[in-house]
Structure 1
């Protein structure tokens, strides 16, 4: 058994996120499992860029209210205690609503290159506002 007492909180990289996002890495991908786990905290309006995962992703919402959206326009409201499974290769994004913070535990199984995430362009303000309208309407 290995007891890890804490990991430092770091600011998530601006080239992958819009707004203020903080990350605590829980597990880095390593042989043989290649499991990557992180606690990610989004301030109101903050969100990921569009991205996909070679082996999919599981998001467990720990606090607040957020959104999870896919390229086909499907957007769901995400609340504490809910779990979302994004299939392998599906381009998606996630983040806080405009009025609430949101925190989640992100779980991925990587590949030989690392965590298996392909980062794409930012979610535009127009896309984000349309997503908010979808879940509020």
Structure 2
């Protein structure tokens, strides 16, 4: 057993991956034979990822605030603290904060043997983002 704090300081999410302001805290990174990765991602209101997919899928667990998630071709879903989202392997999707609320989630995924965690696509357009339902 090993007890540790975040292995890296909080970092701004790369601008090519996120529209708006978002920050990432690494909780668990692949080590040895493990391919398990967990990050805590904190989105400012209106911030969201680009379209992307993960080779082994992803689980999001919302820890704070309210946000949005959408799979390509699907409807935009509102998510809030306590919600869990399972994204299938290879499923193109985006996620982020609501227009008026911060949102923090844990992003849990397995990294491929070649080190690939995700494939990035196009940014989420303003019209795609604004198609979200009102938050309750």
Unaligned runs of 5+ in 1: none
Alpha carbons 1:29, 1:115 under 8 Å: kept: no
| Partners of 2:84 and 2:113 in 1: CA distance | 27
State the number of aligned residues.
134
Alpha carbons 1:56, 1:89 under 8 Å: kept: yes
Alpha-carbon RMSD across the aligned residues, in angstroms, is 1.3
| Partners of 1:34 and 1:28 in 2: CA distance | 8
| Partners of 1:81 and 1:68 in 2: CA distance | 14
Partner of 1:108: 109
Runs (4+) of structure 1 exceeding 2 A deviation are: none
Partner of 1:16: 17
Deviation, 1:66, is 0.2
| Partners of 1:95 and 1:116 in 2: CA distance | 18
Q: TM-score if structure 1 supplies the norm length?
A: 0.92
Q: TM-score if structure 2 supplies the norm length?
A: 0.93
Unaligned runs of 5+ in 2: none
